[in-house]
Homo-oligomer: A and B are copies of this chain.
Amino acid sequence: MEFKIKRNVLAKTLGNIVKIIPPKSTYTILQNIIIEAKDSNLSIQATDLDIFIKKTIPAEIIEEGKVLIPGKKILEITREANIEDIIFKLKELKLLISAGNAQFNIPSLDYQEFPEVPKFPDKKWFDLSIGEMGEMVESTIFMVAKDMSRRPMNGVLVQLKENELRIVTTDGARLAMNKKEKKETAGELIIATKVFDLIDYSKPEEQMEIFIEERVMGIKFLDTTVIARLIEGPYPNYEGVIPKEFTGNCTVEKEILDGALKRVSLVASPHIKNVKFDFHGNSITLSASSSDIGEAKEEIPCVYDGEKLGIWFNANFVLEILRHISAADIIFKLTSQSTAAVVKPKTDEDMTYLLMPLRIDNWE
């Protein structure tokens, strides 16, 4: 095997590929990537056993061949090279790399040791632009449960239902849903968040195709193919927990709420970050206290159409939602002290955040 390739093309490609490489402590063969030179392309593959990624890029192939080689080391060498073209040549199981005046000699492994790649799913499910996928994922993925004992909630629900494509995430105390009109066949799957890290969002107008099979999802976009094993369900019944009716609606300027909440929450209990929201007339009074840190209170203007209502939220959960909303105004839809509240950007009906209130025993 021998080929010549543009340094910047290879560096960018490897930079995306190595994101899938697991930490060094696990199964060491996964530290390696397959590089195959064939026709006038190089194809590069890596996996963490759950997800397989393959990218195909143009290269000047001098001799076809295939090699299994440490992925991060090849990326480091490519990044540090100070020359436009790098030449790779396999010689007696050693990969010789010529990068200008620098010469490297890296031992390779037998490529047959690379894990078996599952078959790419036959069945096309739907198309979506990379930009649309990026926006749906960005607005929801931060709410995926970090607690590894809640397996389905560690993934992202991708669901097609009632002519809507829905991306849903939840950690049990909060839920995020973003939806988009889409008329393809109904279906659903739960997929690891890591899959979405592998997408190169720099060309938002390009399309991606999603394929589905019983146990795997397939994604094709630009020069990339991803095959990912599904997370086993069932996913929590999220539709059942979203209230349909509300007794109060409050519109508030996002920046004003954000600033006041950051201030008041400074004295909240560091653990649960409990801040009380008192909705009354056309204002919200935010208040918090903890015996050792102190007390704080701030009143901010809003447009509120319901009964006087006091409700406790985890300030960090609210601030995190605010960070993911680009609209200037947000809406709180409320029912009672103990009912889930819905938070939405005012200008985007497709986006829903659900927030459980904190149960504080000593109501003031």
Contacts and interface: CB of A to CB of B under 8 A. Distances in A.
B82 A259 contact: yes
A262 B80 contact: yes
A9 interface: no
Instruction: Classify chain A's interface size.
Output: 20 to 34
Given A73-B266, A76-B266, A266-B73, A295 B259 contact: no
A82 B293 CA distance: 21
A90 to B, nearest CB: 13
A74 to B, nearest CB: 10
Contacts of A80: 259, 262-263, 266
Given A77-B266, A263-B80, A298 B106 contact: no
Contact of A300 (B101, B104, B296): B101
Interface in A69-92: 70, 73, 76-77, 80-82
A267 B299 CA distance: 60
A37 interface: no
Chain B CB within 10 Å, residue with most, of A101, A293, A297: A101
A230 interface: no
B292 A102 contact: no
A293 B73 contact: yes
Nearest to A255: B82
A103 B296 contact: yes
B292 A107 contact: yes
Contacts of A300: 101
A101 B260 CA distance: 9
Contacts of A233: none
B73 A106 contact: no
A125 B39 CA distance: 75
A266 B263 CA distance: 47
21 contacts: A73-B266, A77-B263, A80-B259, A80-B262, A80-B263, A82-B263, A99-B263, A101-B260, A101-B299, A102-B260, A102-B263, A102-B297, A102-B298, A103-B297, A103-B298, A104-B266, A104-B267, A104-B294, A104-B296, A105-B295, A106-B294
Given A73-B294, A76-B266, A102-B296, 13 more contacts: A70-B293, A73-B266, A73-B267, A80-B262, A82-B263, A94-B294, A99-B263, A101-B300, A102-B260, A102-B263, A103-B297, A104-B295, A107-B294
